[in-house]
Amino acid sequence: MLPKKEHDLNGRVAFIAGKKNGNAVWRNKAKRRMRAICQDLKGPWSAYNIVFLAKSNICEVSYSKVLTASEKALFNAGIIKDRLYEGEVSKTTN
């Protein structure tokens, strides 16, 4: 996730769900989930080209876990400044 300096300031987002991970139903569900997460996190972000790549378990885990992981990745990259959903991760017990 790098800022694009050679183009205009409009951000773009791409959603990738490969055939290797599942059939068309799985790929469509994964892309719908990633689009919803992007919308919840107020994307697309200006001056950035972001690629969401679906992993094999994206449709199996809860939406809040995927949302929190996506938000954490964007926050760590410096793309978003505020963490809205950080408290929704289930706590692990030791």
Per-residue pLDDT reduced to its tens digit, 25-47: 999 999 999 999 999 998 888 88
Q: Within a domain: residue 73?
A: yes
21 DSSP assignment: T
Residue 41 included in any domain: yes
Q: Looking at the domain assignment, is residue 25 inside a domain?
A: yes
Which among 13, 14, 75 is positioned nearest to 45, based on CA atoms? 13
pLDDT in tens, 40-76: 998 888 888 999 999 999 999 999 999 999 999 999 9
Task: Choose among 61, 1, 72: nearest CA to 33.
Answer: 61
> Is residue 2 situated within a structural domain?
no
Residue 1: inside a domain: no
- pLDDT for the residue 1: 54
Residue count (the chain): 94
Within a domain: 28: yes
**What residue numbers bound the domain in which 36 lies?**
12-88
What distance in Å separates the CA atoms of residue 93 and residue 46, rounded to the nearest whole number? Answer: 39
CATH number at residue 24: 3.30.230.10
State how far the Cα of 42 lies from the Cα of 36, in Å rounded to an integer.
Answer: 10
**4 located within any domain:** no
Please state the domain count of the chain.
1
